[in-house]
Amino acid sequence: MTRLLLLTTAFTLGGAMAAQANADLQTLMDDPNQWVIQTGDYANQRYSDLEQINKDNVGSLQVAWSFSTGVLRGHEGSPLVVGDVMYVHTPFPNIVYALDLNNDGKVLWKYEPKQDPSVIPVMCCDTVNRGVAYADGKIFLHQADTTLVALDAKTGAVVWSVKNGDPSKGETNTATVMPVKDKVIVGISGGEFGVRGSVTAYNTADGSVAWRAYSMGPDSDTLMDGENTTHLGKPVGADSGLATWEGDQWQIGGGTTWGWYSYDPDLNLMYYGTGNPSTWNPSQRPGDNAWSMTIFARDVDTGMAKWVYQMTPHDEWDFDGINEMILTDQNIGGADRKLLTHFDRNGLGYTLDRETGELLVAEKFDPAVNWTTGVDMDPNSATYGRPAVVAQYSTEQNGEDVNSTGICPAALGSKDQQPAAYSPKTELFYVPTNHVCMDYEPFRVSYTAGQPYVGATLSMYPAPDSHGGMGNFIAWDGKEGSIKWSLPEQFSVWSGALATAGDVVFYGTLEGYLKAVDANTGEELYKFKTPSGIIGNVMTYSNGGKQYVAVLSGVGGWAGIGLAAGLTNPTDGLGAVGGYAALSDYTALGGTLTVFTLPN
């Protein structure tokens, strides 16, 4: 009885501490003056209630101050603001700065990890990092070498650190993390090296593992229940993560988890997507390759999967499914629903019921998409929820070593990881897109741990018969599955968007412009050219009674890999170098934080 009482007390205290930690972080996220996790909030809406800067005065924005990071590679993610302190991160070597907003941005502390530079050539598509997160008085950084570090937010001292993966096997990190309750959720990169994707929950207090869930494998690894985990309303069955793989290919099956995470506190479910199956040569991995290219809904406490939806079974094009899941509560079809909206690399915009996984909308968000005629939306059909593949644009239509041409979108998708925003005022999503097509030639490749496991040669170019540019910034109605307006851009829009209560939407361009547009019409209201191309995400905060807008510039990422890594062969960078060769005419390397505000 004494032991039972002790256990009960421990669980009660643990639950209370978790609830308090979650409540404290939620309170900070609810304060629009701060920006405490990369996505702004758990719903991934990237929306701010601040409205001092609005559509009527945004044209008067001025640069308030700037800060050089001292690093030249691609700068993704955004700074955080917690209280009066701003936290700025960099790509490899993943420096973190704490800046005093009340003292001219004075550096309060600097953390610079000592990482083995041998991790750099193992990182796909540049040495980017999508930023730090805050919770429980700690700054959480997931380094390129997969070291997860908890830093004291006041001093920068290391509170604890753990290793999440093994770079010698190709496991690296480019993503941010998501603190939730008493845990911090962490993914893994490396799908181009035959890594098996996983999501891990670490306890924020000490870095111990709470649970780990793999993307494929037996139920004990994937944390799935064949009877209670569903796919489009039906039980997935036992060991579904093995059933559609040939032999032991699942052990090097990809499905990495380097994207964004969202969370519904009411349902206690987290949502994320998994990446491409390994290898890129589809003939080497027959079957649907579950659960790559899949949206997962998992219980945060246990990691158990409630439902899944595989968007691109047997992916033939590297259409990673890792893009953000945006959570909204809207009326659709005459009923109030808890919705999840996802803009996939495959060019389809999805809306699902996030409680049940029911598929409600699946439509193209770029008219150039041609690899599929659309998704079967008939629940009674044997192919329900599957995209119908156009044979001409299948990459295994004629076997290996045959070049399939004119496929739209290219492997970097109609949208890559650059996050969209949502405004509850307009009920529209604002989506940075790529308007790019490709030629794709698969070839046979063998697996060696730590070596590239790609198996395809690509070339990329603007979509034909359009505005001739490589990008658009669009407003999307997630309930209808339709584009409301679209702004053409010369290059892909690789910056994350921000929507505000001032009816302004911000985004950045690869040439380096920060742009502000009217949330209702798309009319351009302001633009300013920063020192380098923008692949960072726009954020906003308030300090001393003034609203500020901030963005990291520093060209790189997949689209800018030619500039970032000094590559010139058109097929290098998995085909991106040739497609974006003209970028060097408009911008150069350099990591800078630029902060804007209205004049006094």
Number of domains in the chain: 1
140/152 Cα distance (integer angstroms) = 9
Residue 18 pLDDT level (bands cut at 50, 70, 90)? low
156/109 Cα distance (integer angstroms) = 6
Query: What does the pLDDT average to over 170-199?
Result: 96
Which of 523, 526, 416, 519 minimizes the C-alpha distance to 48?
A: 519
Asked, for residue 543, whether it belongs to a domain, the answer is yes
What Å distances lie between residue 536 and 91, 170, 264, CA to CA? 11, 25, 25
CATH code assigned at 542: 2.140.10.10
Residue 20 pLDDT level (bands cut at 50, 70, 90)? low
Query: What does the pLDDT average to over 230-243?
Result: 97
Share of the chain above pLDDT 90, in %: 89
What Å distances lie between residue 61 and 25, 103, 503, CA to CA? 31, 22, 15
* Residue 399 reports pLDDT greater than 70: no
Angle formed at CA 188 by CA 184 and CA 191, multiple of 5 degrees: 160
* Residue 2 reports pLDDT greater than 60: no
pTM of the predicted structure, to 2 decimals:
0.95
Query: What does the pLDDT average to over 522-550?
Result: 98
Asked, for residue 35, whether it belongs to a domain, the answer is yes
Asked, for residue 26, whether it belongs to a domain, the answer is no
| Side-by-side strand order, sheet with 428-434 | 421-423, 428-434, 471-477, 482-489
Count of beta carbons in the 10 Å neighbourhood of residue 586? 16
Tokens representing residue 205 in the block = 């207090």
Query: How much is the pLDDT for 21?
Result: 56
Count of beta carbons in the 10 Å neighbourhood of residue 113? 17
* Residue 435 reports pLDDT greater than 90: yes
Asked, for residue 343, whether it belongs to a domain, the answer is yes
323/295 Cα distance (integer angstroms) = 10
Which of 276, 317, 298 minimizes the C-alpha distance to 212?
A: 298
Query: How much is the pLDDT for 6?
Result: 36
Higher pLDDT, 338 or 575: 338
Q: What is the mean pLDDT of the chain?
A: 94
* Residue 218 reports pLDDT greater than 60: yes
Query: What does the pLDDT average to over 524-541?
Result: 98
Which of 449, 403, 454, 460 minimizes the C-alpha distance to 281?
A: 454
Share of the chain above pLDDT 70, in %: 96
Count of beta carbons in the 10 Å neighbourhood of residue 368? 20
* Residue 357 reports pLDDT greater than 60: yes
221/215 Cα distance (integer angstroms) = 8
159/136 Cα distance (integer angstroms) = 12
Asked, for residue 3, whether it belongs to a domain, the answer is no
Torsion sign, CA atoms 246, 248, 252, 258: positive
Query: What does the pLDDT average to over 487-515?
Result: 97
Tokens representing residue 445 in the block = 């490749």
Highest mean pLDDT among 1-15, 22-36, 315-329, 387-401: 315-329
Query: What does the pLDDT average to over 122-127?
Result: 90
Q: Which residues pair with 123 in a beta bridge?
A: none
Query: What does the pLDDT average to over 1-25?
Result: 49
Flag the least confident range among 159-173, 306-320, 346-360, 562-576. Answer: 562-576
Residue 579 pLDDT level (bands cut at 50, 70, 90)? confident
Query: How much is the pLDDT for 568?
Result: 87
Asked, for residue 241, whether it belongs to a domain, the answer is yes
Cβ within 8 Å of residue 20, ≥6 positions away: none
Query: What does the pLDDT average to over 368-383?
Result: 97
139/64 Cα distance (integer angstroms) = 26
Query: How much is the pLDDT for 14?
Result: 43
| Side-by-side strand order, sheet with 436-442 | 404-407, 436-442, 456-462
71/48 Cα distance (integer angstroms) = 29
275/347 Cα distance (integer angstroms) = 15
Q: Which structural domain range is residue 340 located in?
A: 31-597
Residue 124 pLDDT level (bands cut at 50, 70, 90)? confident
Per DSSP, the residues of 334-397 read TEEEEEEEEE-TTSEEEEEETTT--EEEEEESSTT--SEEEE---TTSTTTTPEEEPGGG-TTT
* Residue 19 reports pLDDT greater than 60: no
Query: What does the pLDDT average to over 342-360?
Result: 98
Is-contact 215 241, C-beta < 8 A? yes
Query: How much is the pLDDT for 333?
Result: 85
For 458-494, what is each residue's pLDDT tens digit? 999 999 988 879 999 999 999 999 999 999 999 999 9
Active-site positions read 318
Query: What does the pLDDT average to over 14-30?
Result: 72
Tokens representing residue 528 in the block = 């300013």
Residue 560 pLDDT level (bands cut at 50, 70, 90)? confident
Per DSSP, the residues of 272-341 read EE--PBS-S-GGGS-S--TTSSEEEEEETTT--EEEEEESSTT-SS-----S-EEEEEEEETTEEEEEEE
For 89-121, what is each residue's pLDDT tens digit? 999 999 999 999 999 899 999 999 999 999 999
Query: How much is the pLDDT for 576?
Result: 87
Query: How much is the pLDDT for 204?
Result: 96
